[in-house]
Chains A and B, each alone.
Chain A
């Protein structure tokens, strides 16, 4: 489909880019003290994007922009996830005192550009588009990580992020160029056709390119050998941005991994039936399973030793990337929709946890466990919500975290005895993670003095945002069938040119 014809299926993205332009234009007009008002434009634009995604949803159109983008229910699910988390994080930033003293207009502009890049990532079906989308996201996240420019930690975070990002995307480009050299194609489907005609001679080169591409994608979702940037960047960035980085790029990264590996390296029956296998029996599922086991183990073990809650949550997000990666090697529909359900739950509980951390950081001036002492007595709403988020992150039954984990583990067990070991590692890790999550609860209720003066957060926005995140976290643990149905309907990739 030619570029001009494609534009009429591209409304959400067009509105998002117009949002970014309007945001920066309005920031030129506002005075410094009014600069935060840009957020109204940005949030309005995102809401409009959300509506258009729903309006144009349900259709499956292939080969937009000369076969580089796809519009399908699968990308729609992730687009909604990304736009929702962007709106929530923008609302979170309203009350962030870290950002006081900086111009906030650019902050919201950059966030809307980043949302645009993420939305592109979810629907790219061409290697070039995939790379361009990843770079838009990366460069914008470098800016956001270093947004507190008078804070050395934030500068350090930005610099580390740039160096790791540049290196890993360089390695990924090398892998992509090997792949292009072998197949001569950039479209995922064309790559698959070309690979299935290659003999077993080229398997070595293919494995090399898969490993290199995994470096770039693993960096985006902070999988283990490529996770070293995560704790430092998460610690130095403004807390609202940490929350954003731990959710939205991960969601888009997983969307890209699922699409790329299942289309380019999966057998022909991909998504058509419930059974498929890797092309030319390349061992990439095993590779991802191995990375997944390493990711959750290291994430959990290092999280135990952390003193700062923010750093602990950074390692816990590495561990969660590991749980989510379990769903990819099993190569079944139930695996993929388990991952989608998990991502949705993870968005709610992780944003919630970071929001409470941000509030505590602002009010009690510290992000260590000690800053949480007695919080449960002083502010019951925050205490109860934080407990809920922690229990949900562990994956215990009455919360949504359990539902997410249940679907992923069920998919892994369903795949047969070749992945029993992976499920076993996952279960052991969930038990380990209980220790450091409950540590937060212990500090909130059993350490520090118990006070009888109870208060709510001063701002109504804070209270309502905590409730908006906490209530679904709780109730999706009881009544999750609409979400499961939605994820199940969103499973359709588009299958051919």
Chain B
């Protein structure tokens, strides 16, 4: 039994060799002559600007999470719909409960105004949205 693992060890070894061999070969053969254009990041022909390590607005992640609600829903709905005739009423009720709970999630983000991109009621906004809260307060007051 233990001898069978020899094959696996050989595969692991070959895996390592197959990765490093081309790298070593090209290091030996290829000419090394860098210049500024060659080292620049390729961005569909556009000149790249700034670093890729910028901070993204956290609301992109919120939108991704909202997307997941519908994504998961569809993933579960497809197999259910395919065998719907054989499963009958019980499966229909079960799916109804499932959808109800998922829709509760949608109602939740809606009520929390996470579906609005520009938020007027955020107290701690920064940058160009920072005065919106004050503005909305003055509009309400007037």
Judge if A136 is at the interface, Cβ distance under 8 Å: no
Tell me the residues in window 82-128 of chain B with beta carbons closer than 8 Å to chain A beta carbons: 90, 101, 104, 107-108, 111
Partner of A28, one of B90, B101, B111: B111
Is the beta-carbon distance between B104 and A21 smaller than 8 angstroms?
A: yes
What is the minimal beta-carbon distance from B114 to any residue of chain A, in angstroms? 13
Residues of A within 8 A of B101 (CB): 21
Size band of the interface chain B makes with A: under 10
What is the minimal beta-carbon distance from B87 to any residue of chain A, in angstroms? 12
Residues of A within 8 A of B107 (CB): 28
Is the beta-carbon distance between B108 and A24 smaller than 8 angstroms?
A: yes
Residues of B within 8 A of A201 (CB): 1
CA distance A70 to B90 in the complex (A): 24
Is the beta-carbon distance between B104 and A24 smaller than 8 angstroms?
A: yes
User: What 0/1 pattern do residues 174 to 207 of A give for CB contact below 8 A with B?
Assistant: 0000000000000000000000000001000000
CA distance A201 to B2 in the complex (A): 11
Residues of B within 8 A of A4 (CB): 90
What is the minimal beta-carbon distance from A91 to any residue of chain B, in angstroms? 26
Judge if A25 is at the interface, Cβ distance under 8 Å: yes
What is the minimal beta-carbon distance from A461 to any residue of chain B, in angstroms? 29
Residues of B within 8 A of A28 (CB): 107-108, 111
Is the beta-carbon distance between B90 and A25 smaller than 8 angstroms?
A: no
Residues of A within 8 A of B104 (CB): 21, 24-25
CA distance A4 to B107 in the complex (A): 29
CA distance A24 to B90 in the complex (A): 26
Tell me the residues in window 5-36 of chain A with beta carbons closer than 8 Å to chain B beta carbons: 21, 24-25, 28
What is the minimal beta-carbon distance from A140 to any residue of chain B, in angstroms? 15
What is the minimal beta-carbon distance from A390 to any residue of chain B, in angstroms? 40
CA distance A21 to B108 in the complex (A): 11
User: What 0/1 pattern do residues 30 to 69 of B give for CB contact below 8 A with A?
Assistant: 0000000000000000000000000000000000000000
CA distance A28 to B1 in the complex (A): 61
Residues of A within 8 A of B108 (CB): 24, 28
Residues of B within 8 A of A21 (CB): 101, 104
Residues of B within 8 A of A24 (CB): 104, 108
What is the minimal beta-carbon distance from A73 to any residue of chain B, in angstroms? 30
What is the minimal beta-carbon distance from B140 to any residue of chain A, in angstroms? 16
Closest residue on chain B to residue A103 by CB atoms: B112
CA distance A65 to B111 in the complex (A): 36
CA distance A24 to B111 in the complex (A): 11
Closest residue on chain A to residue B110 by CB atoms: A28
Closest residue on chain A to residue B101 by CB atoms: A21
Closest residue on chain A to residue B100 by CB atoms: A21
What is the minimal beta-carbon distance from B80 to any residue of chain A, in angstroms? 15
What is the minimal beta-carbon distance from A373 to any residue of chain B, in angstroms? 36
Closest residue on chain A to residue B2 by CB atoms: A201
CA distance A28 to B104 in the complex (A): 10
CA distance A158 to B88 in the complex (A): 44
CA distance A201 to B1 in the complex (A): 11
User: What 0/1 pattern do residues 22 to 63 of A give for CB contact below 8 A with B?
Assistant: 001100100000000000000000000000000000000000
What is the minimal beta-carbon distance from A147 to any residue of chain B, in angstroms? 16
CA distance A78 to B90 in the complex (A): 33
What is the minimal beta-carbon distance from A420 to any residue of chain B, in angstroms? 40
CA distance A204 to B111 in the complex (A): 55
Closest residue on chain A to residue B105 by CB atoms: A24
CA distance A25 to B104 in the complex (A): 8
What is the minimal beta-carbon distance from A28 to any residue of chain B, in angstroms? 5
Closest residue on chain A to residue B107 by CB atoms: A28
CA distance A438 to B111 in the complex (A): 50
Binding site for B on A (CB under 8 A): 4, 21, 24-25, 28, 201
- Of all A-B residue pairs in the complex, the 5 with the closest CB atoms, nearest first, are A28-B111, A28-B107, A28-B108, A24-B108, A21-B104
6 inter-chain pairs at a CB distance below 8 angstroms, sorted by A residue, are: A4-B90, A21-B101, A21-B104, A24-B104, A24-B108, A28-B111
Apart from A21-B104, A25-B104: 8 A-B pairs, beta carbons within 8 A: A4-B90, A21-B101, A24-B104, A24-B108, A28-B107, A28-B108, A28-B111, A201-B1
